Amino acid sequence: MWSDARRRVPILKAMRTLDRSRQLQQRAEHLLPGGVDSPVRAFRAVGGDPPFVVRAEGAYLWDADGNRYIDYFGSWGPMILGHAFPAVVEAIQQAAAHSASFGASTPAEAELAGLIKAAVPSIEKLRFVSSGTEATMSAIRLARGFTNRKYIIKFEGCYHGHADGLLVKAGSGVATFGIPGSAGVPEEIAHFTLALPYNDISAVEAAFAARPQQIAAIILEPVAGNMGCVPPHPGYLAALREITKRDGALLIFDEVMTGFRVAHGGAQQLYGITPDLTCLGKIIGGGLPCGVFGGRAETMDMLAPLGPVYQAGTLSGNPLAMAAGVATLGHLARNCEAVYVNIDETSRLVAEGVADVLSEAGVPVTTNRVGAMWTWFFTHQPVVDFATAATSDTARFGVFHRAMMESGVWLPPSQFEAIFLGTAHTPEIVEATLTAARQAVASLHEAQPAR
Ligand code: KE4
């Protein structure tokens, strides 16, 4: 079953020392559940000790023991320009010199809002919040307030942050840990969330037929990233647009991950579909806490202080996040063509190159990619929804992940996450990644594949 790859590439023995990270992990575990502030960082799904990062620059991370890694998760998406991008660092430093927060309106909010509106014309008005979770949670409340309806539709394997009603059959860490939802979410709340299979338009038609004029909105990742990368089937987004328009429900694109990543104008530009509301996060804050929800003015004006839908936030529109966002989106806008052609081609070289290494070694892999986000699913099946993503051999992915870490390549620590790169990933880094994959395959042969 295995080719002779193992004889060609020497197997890397563990070269890294993680002594300092292990000490930091032990201290952290006394203070933070699992030693982390977000579950997927604990490496529970892939095994091995999570390195503690102390600095990063360009495409590289360094841990507390001095090990260097090529970064393929980019803070889970934000770092599209690479770490410590000079213009972003300078913008944050300059803003910080005038205090970190005012809790009052600032000129920078309108500047960043203008850059977002220029790239995403479906957004006539928007509101800043401090995370993607806040953006989607607020968008759902606004949709319910605007339509005066209670039900929402989400899709299995999609993750929209950790607001109660959106944790039903969610992706990302919820899928990674194989939990159907989350404890603490009352069934009375989960009841109003209909979770359907992704890429199955008949399921959506049936849901609307069963509850005509009762569904406030559909929320989805227009390119799913939180079950791993799963693109929409041709015509799927257009069908969702038609069904929601016909029934009077809102179509919400959660572009927290895809916004400014798969295209300057996000998935809605890439696929030519105009949603009613858009949620953004990650890249728009340049690495600082920032989220946005926005859409038509008639909908957004339902928000307090103009309308009856309440939403608020102490650090919403924070001046440091605004400064980092303006520096980031300003660079993307000025260099739009070059940036997205570059990261798409670099992603193709890495995604296809590593897939070839795995396939040549007889390791079943399905690669899904949209621009600079992709996933290597350790399965031979096409992956079109969460059920097919779940056929992946997560144990073997864990072996691959640990081997790549040993070779200095830090992939997202879960089979059900998307891999990202940015403009700092050079051809030399591509080559180093392929070399690491060849070494990792040797480790895969060493480890008895999961049965
Ligand atoms: P945050 O609240 O984490 O800023 O955003 C939530 C969110 C909303 N929508 C989409 C499409 C998202 O991908 C996310 C967050 N993504 C995960 C990784 N897939 C964040 C990483 C983590 O949870 O630690």
Ligand 1 probe mutation, 159, 177, 179, most atoms within 8 A of CB: 159
**What is the structure's pLDDT at 212?**
98
Is residue 365, in this structure, part of any structural domain at all?
Answer: no
Average pLDDT over residues 330-345: 98
Ligand 1 centroid–CA 247 distance in Å is: 29
Active-site residue flag, 254: yes
**What is the structure's pLDDT at 14?**
54
**What is the structure's pLDDT at 7?**
45
Residue 38 CA: which ligand 1 atom is closest? 24
Is residue 275, in this structure, part of any structural domain at all?
Answer: yes
**What is the structure's pLDDT at 170?**
81
Say yes or no: 210 and 284 in one domain.
yes
Q: For residue range 191-226, what is the model confidence (pLDDT) as tens digits?
A: 999 999 999 999 999 999 999 999 999 999 999 999
What phi, psi does 440 have (nearest 5°)? -65, -35
Ligand 1 probe mutation, 43, 137, 158, 226, most atoms within 8 A of CB: 226
Active-site residue flag, 340: no
Q: For residue range 385-417, what is the model confidence (pLDDT) as tens digits?
A: 999 999 999 999 999 999 999 999 999 999 999
CB of residue 172 inside a 6 A radius of ligand 1: yes
Is residue 361, in this structure, part of any structural domain at all?
Answer: no
Ligand 1 centroid–CA 157 distance in Å is: 13
pLDDT band at 136 (very low <50, low <70, confident <90, very high): very high
The answer to whether the beta carbons of residues 283 and 399 sit under 8 Å apart is no
**What is the structure's pLDDT at 94?**
98
Say yes or no: 288 and 304 in one domain.
yes
Ligand 1 centroid–CA 172 distance in Å is: 8
The answer to whether the beta carbons of residues 421 and 430 sit under 8 Å apart is no
**What is the structure's pLDDT at 148?**
98
pLDDT band at 12 (very low <50, low <70, confident <90, very high): very low
Is residue 289, in this structure, part of any structural domain at all?
Answer: yes
Specify the residue for token string 């690495």.
287
Number of domains the chain contains: 2
CB of residue 417 inside a 6 A radius of ligand 1: yes
CB of residue 174 inside a 6 A radius of ligand 1: no
Query: How many whole angstroms separate alpha carbon 345 and alpha carbon 162?
Result: 33
pTM: predicted TM-score of the whole model, two decimal places: 0.95
Say yes or no: 202 and 167 in one domain.
yes
Say yes or no: 171 and 240 in one domain.
yes
The rounded percent of the chain whose pLDDT value lies above 70 is 95
pLDDT band at 442 (very low <50, low <70, confident <90, very high): confident
Residue 136 CA: which ligand 1 atom is closest? 8
Query: How many whole angstroms separate alpha carbon 94 and alpha carbon 96?
Result: 6
pLDDT higher at 449 or 380? 380
CB of residue 79 inside a 6 A radius of ligand 1: no
Is residue 76, in this structure, part of any structural domain at all?
Answer: no
Say yes or no: 438 and 291 in one domain.
no
Residue 41 CA: which ligand 1 atom is closest? 24
CB of residue 266 inside a 6 A radius of ligand 1: no
Domain of 244, CATH number, reads: 3.40.640.10
Residue 279 CA: which ligand 1 atom is closest? 9
Query: How many whole angstroms separate alpha carbon 422 and alpha carbon 347?
Result: 9
Cβ neighbour number for residue 63 with a 10 Å cutoff = 22
Full residue range of the structural domain in which residue 129 is found: 86-334
Query: Nearest C-alpha to atom 15 of ligand 1 is from which residue?
Result: 161
pLDDT band at 6 (very low <50, low <70, confident <90, very high): very low
Say yes or no: 184 and 321 in one domain.
yes
pLDDT band at 15 (very low <50, low <70, confident <90, very high): low
Ligand 1 centroid–CA 160 distance in Å is: 6
What phi, psi does 422 have (nearest 5°)? -140, -170
For residue 25, pLDDT beyond 50: yes
Query: Nearest C-alpha to atom 20 of ligand 1 is from which residue?
Result: 76
Specify the residue for token string 């660079």.
331
Is residue 362, in this structure, part of any structural domain at all?
Answer: no
Ligand 1 probe mutation, 160, 229, 230, 315, most atoms within 8 A of CB: 160
HSE of 165 in the Cβ direction (CA atoms, 13 Å)?
Answer: 22
Longest Cα–Cα distance of the chain, Å, equals 69
Query: Nearest C-alpha to atom 8 of ligand 1 is from which residue?
Result: 160
Query: How many whole angstroms separate alpha carbon 250 and alpha carbon 145?
Result: 11
Of 174, 76, 72, 155, the closest CA to residue 440 belongs to 72
Name the residue type at position 64.
Answer: A
Catalytic-role residue among 60, 72, 159, 236: 159
Which of 277, 307, 334 is where one domain is finished? 334
The answer to whether the beta carbons of residues 282 and 245 sit under 8 Å apart is no
Domain of 342, CATH number, reads: 3.90.1150.10
For residue 182, pLDDT beyond 70: yes
Which of 181-214 are b and which e, b meaning 16 or more Cβ less than 10 Å from the residue's Cβ? beeebeeeebebbbbbbbbbbebbeebbeebeee
Is residue 80, in this structure, part of any structural domain at all?
Answer: no
List strand residue ranges (DSSP E) for 86-179, in order: 125-129, 151-155
Average pLDDT over residues 63-81: 98
Residue 132 CA: which ligand 1 atom is closest? 5
HSE of 159 in the Cβ direction (CA atoms, 13 Å)?
Answer: 23
Residue 221 CA: which ligand 1 atom is closest? 11
Active-site residue flag, 301: no
pLDDT band at 178 (very low <50, low <70, confident <90, very high): low
Catalytic-role residue among 63, 254, 276, 393: 254
Cβ neighbour number for residue 303 with a 10 Å cutoff = 21
Say yes or no: 315 and 340 in one domain.
no
Say yes or no: 167 and 213 in one domain.
yes
Say yes or no: 285 and 386 in one domain.
no
Say yes or no: 324 and 340 in one domain.
no
Say yes or no: 44 and 180 in one domain.
no
Average pLDDT over residues 143-155: 98
**What is the structure's pLDDT at 179?**
65
Q: Which two tokens stand for residue 110?
A: 């309108």
pLDDT band at 169 (very low <50, low <70, confident <90, very high): confident
Query: How many whole angstroms separate alpha carbon 183 and alpha carbon 351?
Result: 36
As a whole number, the mean pLDDT across the chain is 94
Q: Which two tokens stand for residue 150?
A: 């209670």
Catalytic-role residue among 282, 340, 385, 393: 282
pLDDT band at 138 (very low <50, low <70, confident <90, very high): very high
Query: Nearest C-alpha to atom 6 of ligand 1 is from which residue?
Result: 161
Average pLDDT over residues 66-85: 98
Residue 417 CA: which ligand 1 atom is closest? 19
pLDDT band at 447 (very low <50, low <70, confident <90, very high): low
Which of 309, 334, 359 is where one domain is finished? 334
CA–CA distance from 72 to each of 249, 372, 430 (Å)?
37, 10, 11
Q: Are strands 151-155 and 215-220 parallel, antiparallel or unpaired?
A: parallel
pLDDT higher at 7 or 178? 178
Radius of gyration of the chain (CA): 22
Average pLDDT over residues 256-272: 98
Ligand 1 centroid–CA 10 distance in Å is: 37
Say yes or no: 27 and 111 in one domain.
no
pLDDT band at 9 (very low <50, low <70, confident <90, very high): very low
Using CA atoms of 131, 142, 294, 269 in order, give the dihedral in degrees to the nearest 10.
Answer: 100
CB of residue 137 inside a 6 A radius of ligand 1: no
Ligand 1 probe mutation, 164, 177, 252, 257, most atoms within 8 A of CB: 257
Neighbour order of strands in the sheet with 366-370: 366-370, 373-377, 419-420
Q: For residue range 100-135, what is the model confidence (pLDDT) as tens digits?
A: 999 999 999 999 999 999 999 999 999 999 999 999
Is residue 433, in this structure, part of any structural domain at all?
Answer: yes
91: Cα separation from own chain's centroid: 25
